[in-house]
Structure 1
Amino acid sequence: MTLRPQRALAQQDGPTVLVAHSWGGTVITEAGVDPKVAALVYVSALSPDAGETTAQQYAGFTTPAEFVLETLPDGYGIVRPEKFKVGFAADATDADAAFMRDGQVPINMSVFGAKLQNAAWRTKPSWAVIATDDKAFDQRMLQAMAKRIGAKVTEVKASHAVYMTQPTVVADVIDQAAQRQQLKR
């Protein structure tokens, strides 16, 4: 997998906590091996192992029917607009859900088949925020991933848009990760 997070990490002047949502968990899993990275926070996020693909995370689990990804002719995918609120942001206001729906950045679906070279969670402390009403992932999948990576888990009643609908919970977990790393300095 070719990711280029080095620019952002090079700009950091001290220990860094990487935070990711959804597929972004794959990115921090790969990039988190950088020596500046002190901790990882997975917010309803994927956490594959080295040698695995993101797609393999779904094996044995069933994505709820409310969450529908639509692959466009160019190979990029979006959450199907008519399913966005119920599948992605059920606890958001209609206006906020529409804003997120209309601002979607399509994802290259081929990234789900790329094998990771690294799994930062094997050597870095990890936290997981699990949205208990998340329709993008099977709840058993979120729990299994968090257990496998040894994450300190915080559960919150929220949709996949937990970062927007429960920002205080997410910020508190990020703060916990940052403070734990400050104590070690």
Structure 2
Amino acid sequence: MKFQRPLVAALAAISAFGVLGFSQAASAQDKPAPVKNVVLVHGLYADGSSWEKVIPILQAKGLHVTSVQNPTTSLDADVDAVKRALALQDGPTVLVAHSYGGMVISEAGVDPKVSSLVYIAARAPDAGEDYPALTKKFPTAPAGAGLQWSGDYAKLSEQAFVKDFAGDLPVDQARAYYAVQQPMGRAITMAKTTVAAWRQKPSYYAVSTEDRTINPELERFMAKRMGAKTIELPSSHVSLISHPQEVANLILQAAGQPTN
């Protein structure tokens, strides 16, 4: 029995509609639901003011933004600080980290309020992974040579900070940023996360291609391993300061918000 042409056409149309409908449904699922809360987590050798250029961009989009002040004395203390900030949020929250802060949000990000994770040139170890051992699989980034210890706390030298940590900032701006540097507790060098929240939550990653603090290839490895939606910025380690608009746009994407 032969199908009549009108019937064939109708069947083809139904088939096309089904495929199109599935595709549109998949696209809708890929786009995150709009989120209004953002919690920002700084890394080592810095404080919450490192987000000062990103914060007003997010606030201008109507987002409620909190920048955590980590003590950087131990991983546990920093995770506790983030958990306190998350407890104050009134709904789903995008959790964002720079540098070492990536370890903090990988641990704290299992909180049910956290809708997604954004890593800005950040550490992203797996649960129980030895991060210093992971870094040794890649050429050593030069900033670490400038680490200066005093008892159980360390800071970057001014030269290492200006050249290797914040190398694409104007020198006067890098020196001002250096002035607010917080010491790092020795306990952080031995810390390991017990969970990897990026295995449970949608993740985003901004690689800094000119990074001299974390090797860019290590950043690419971590971003690929977590299956993160990834962008690359021609930046030093501090893209949140030298490329605040691009960093803010990635956070807005994770929050399901328009970027223009």
Name the CA distance, whole Å, in 2 between partners of 1:66 and 1:114: 20
- Larger Rg over CA atoms: 2
Q: CA deviation at 1:161?
A: 1.1
**Distance (Å, rounded) in 2 between the aligned partners of 1:62 and 1:50:** 23
Matched to 1:91, the amino acid is D
Cα distance in structure 1, aligned partners of 2:192 and 2:225: 18
- Output the CA distance in 2 between the equivalents of 1:63 and 1:99: 26
Q: TM-score scaled to structure 2, two decimals?
A: 0.66
Contact 2:146 2:160 in 1 (8 A): no
Deviations along 1:134-181, one digit per CA (max 9) or x if unpaired, are: 11011211110111111111101111111000000000000000007x
Residues 102-122 of structure 1: per-residue CA shift (max 9 Å, x gap): 211111132131221111000
Q: Is 1:134–1:159's contact at 8 Å kept on the other side of the alignment?
A: yes
Tell me what 1:153 maps to.
230
Q: 2:253 aligns with which of 176, 179, 184?
A: 176
Note the aligned Cα RMSD (angstroms): 1.5
Asked if residue 97 in structure 1 is aligned to residue 190 in structure 2, the reply is no
Q: Is the 8 A contact 1:78 1:105 kept in 2?
A: yes
Q: Is the 8 A contact 1:64 1:136 kept in 2?
A: yes
Within a 5 Å distance, the mapping from 1:30-179 to structure 2 comes to 30-179=107-256
More helix by share: 2
Equivalent pairs counted in the alignment come to 180
Question: When the two structures are superposed, what TM-score results if normalisation uses the length of structure 1?
Answer: 0.91
The 3-state SS of whatever aligns with 2:256 is helix
Structure 2's unaligned 5+ residue stretches are: 1-74
> Which residue of structure 2 aligns with residue 23 of structure 1?
100
Q: Distance in 1 between matches of 2:110 and 2:240?
A: 24
1:67 CA drift (Å):
4.8
* Percent of paired sites with the same residue: 41
User: SS at 2:89's partner residue?
Assistant: coil
Mean Cα deviation higher: 143-152 or 59-68: 59-68
Provide the rounded CA distance (Å) in 2 between the counterparts of 1:28 and 1:41.
9
